[in-house]
Amino acid sequence: MPLTLLVVVMAVVAWFWLRNQPASQRKPAILKLVLVSGILMVVLLAITGRLYIVFALLAFLFPLLRRVLPSLLMGRMSGLGTGDASAKPGNQSHVSSNILKMTLDHDSGTMSGEIVEGPMAGRALADMGEDEFIELLQYCRGQDEDSARLLETYLDRRFGDSWRTDDPAGDDSAEESEPENSSSGGALSDSEALDILGLEPGASRDQIIQAHRRVMQKMHPDRGGSNYLAARVNEAKERLLS
């Protein structure tokens, strides 16, 4: 009974710890929990004389591990090999407009954002419903074209094409706001360019090129991004290399 109670307490503590982790850090946190739990389980089984259960489980899972483990290790090594010491914590890019501030997590490819101006200022996009997004989109289209393009990209990543059926402007507006070679309405500052590529001041030429390649893999239109975001990434690279 005390052992069962200990397991329950540890599980509750682990759950609260995981819940308090930033969204961008939850995947690594889960991996840490799995690793620590596995080690504790092996120690516990060894103390109770039931270590044979681990060997039996490994023998059962060996065919699966032999196929999955190499690819996992190669993916991890690849991530370490392309790591950038000048990247920001969490490996993120930030793209801002007059109304919105967006964050793209390089590891997960997820996009989050908040409203910084207008009637809905201060709200996080993750807490909004689809009807509210249409209202916000109409406001952005009337106030700032860049904000409208940025929000459309977010909606495409979150809802796919479903939100367009509720868009009063229809597909024509999407085509007009996302031309083939779209670009931003204003020149980027060095600070904005660094934010977009997820770099710190003083990044070298090679680091800028590597960061551009990494971010473009997430923001390219062929990978769920948009022409607008791809143009901003290219502008950021050109600004920092000029």
> Which span out of 9-18, 82-91, 197-206 was modeled with the highest average pLDDT?
197-206
pLDDT at 166: 80
Distances (CA, A) of 63 to 70, 72, 74, 119, 163: 12, 15, 18, 57, 43
Q: Which residues contact 184 (CB under 8 A, 6 or more apart)?
A: 146, 228, 231, 232, 235
pTM of the model as a whole: 0.54
Classify 238 as helix, strand or coil: helix
Could you report the per-residue pLDDT of 187-215, keeping only the tens digit for each?
A: 788 888 888 888 888 888 898 898 888 88
What is the C-alpha separation between 41 and 13, in angstroms, rounded? 17
Asked whether residue 171 carries a pLDDT value surpassing 70, the answer given is no
- Which structure tokens are listed for 232? 């901003």
Q: In this structure, what token pair is assigned to residue 93?
A: 């890019």
Sheet holding 111-115, edge to edge: 92-96, 100-105, 111-115
Amino acid at 67: R
Q: What is the 3-state secondary structure (H, E, C) of 185-218?
A: CCCCCHHHHHHHHCECCCCCHHHHHHHHHHHHHH
In three-state secondary structure terms, 114 is strand
pLDDT score for 202: 87
**Region 94-114 average pLDDT:** 85
Selecting from 1.10.287.110, 2.60.40.1180, 2.40.50.140, 3.20.20.100, what CATH number does the domain 92-241 have? 1.10.287.110
What is the domain partition of the chain in residue ranges? 2-81, 92-241
- Assess whether pLDDT exceeds 70 at residue 227: yes
CA distance 172 to 174: 5
User: What pLDDT digit, counting tens, does each position of 67-81 carry?
Assistant: 555 544 444 444 444
Q: Average the pLDDT over 3-32 and give the result.
A: 67
Strands (E), the chain: 92-96, 100-105, 111-115
